[in-house]
């Protein structure tokens, strides 16, 4: 799927810990898509590789029905074997692999960055977009350093590729990211920990549309 920075507007990342009884990752992704999510990342830390591949393969047609790219977190093999639209890699994933040779140019490549040097390196490696954060305190990664909006803006403006902000973002603090030159926001619990995922996603999308990044 062709990448556009508009797809980063509302970037939803799954987290298995928020699943309720009888729910699957497919179920919650479908609700987020119905609410207007523009990109989906499947993030699995406990599934074995074969189950992860099977899960992504099942969700991919659903995302494509909504015209939304599906990104795999961290695992390049899973992304390739499932034919996902892209892969998102952290800084620790960049050391042992020549990413340019392993990830096809046709695949969306997201790379996490916490400073300008990392951002420039990611761009040089062929990243399609940057994931920058944490921009607020988050329970998902409690050891993550928090970036103030000024630093976020500096990083976003240091490269020619799009930036999505991540970390502790919710309905109440989205407006604090105004004028930071980002393309959109990435959320986990603000979507998937909610009782009504579709409504939560729709509400956040409404705030985004009223916010000038």
Please tell me the distance from the alpha carbon of residue 114 to that of residue 197, in angstroms, as a whole number: 29
Exactly one of 5, 16, 43, 57 is catalytic; name it: 43
Per-state percent for the chain, helix, strand, coil, to nearest 5: 40, 15, 40
Active site annotation includes 24: no
pLDDT at 95: 66
Exactly one of 16, 141, 158, 181 is catalytic; name it: 141
Active site annotation includes 43: yes
Exactly one of 112, 128, 186, 189 is catalytic; name it: 112
DSSP string, 21-36: TT--HHHHHHHHHHHT
Beta bridge partners of 165: 132, 185
Please tell me the distance from the alpha carbon of residue 34 to that of residue 116, in angstroms, as a whole number: 35
Count of other CB atoms within 10 angstroms of residue 139: 10
- Tell me the domain boundaries of the chain: 5-209
Q: Which tens digit of pLDDT belongs to each residue from 162-176?
A: 999 999 999 999 999
- Is the model's pLDDT at 143 over the cut of 70? no
Closest C-alpha to 32, from 177, 188, 169, 163: 188
Q: Which tens digit of pLDDT belongs to each residue from 4-53?
A: 999 999 999 999 999 998 999 999 999 999 999 999 999 999 999 999 99
Pick 5-209's CATH classification: 3.20.10.10, 2.40.40.20, 3.20.20.70, 3.10.450.50.
3.20.20.70
pLDDT at 92: 83
pTM confidence score? 0.95
């Amino acid at each position: 799927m062709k990448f556009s920075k508009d797809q980063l507007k509302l970037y939803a990342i799954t987290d298995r810990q928020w699943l309720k009884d009888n729910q699957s990752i497919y179920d919650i992704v479908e609700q987020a898509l119905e609410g207007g999510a523009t990109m989906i990342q499947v993030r699995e830390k406990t599934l074995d590789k074969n189950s992860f591949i099977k899960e992504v393969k099942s969700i991919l047609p659903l995302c494509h029905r909504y015209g939304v790219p599906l990104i795999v977190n961290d695992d390049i093999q899973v992304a390739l074997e499932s034919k996902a639209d892209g892969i998102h890699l952290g800084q620790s994933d960049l050391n042992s692999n020549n990413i340019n040779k392993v990830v096809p140019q046709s695949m969306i490549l997201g790379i996490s960055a916490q400073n300008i040097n990392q951002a420039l390196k990611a761009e040089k490696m062929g990243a399609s977009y940057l994931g920058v954060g944490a921009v607020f305190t988050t329970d998902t990664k409690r050891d993550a350093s928090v970036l103030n909006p000024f630093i976020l803006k500096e990083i976003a403006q240091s490269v020619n590729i799009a930036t999505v902000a991540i970390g502790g973002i919710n309905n109440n603090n989205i407006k604090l990211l105004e004028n930071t030159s980002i393309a959109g926001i990435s959320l986990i619990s603000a979507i998937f920990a909610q009782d009504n995922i579709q409504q939560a996603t729709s509400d956040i999308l409404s705030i985004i549309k009223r916010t000038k990044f």
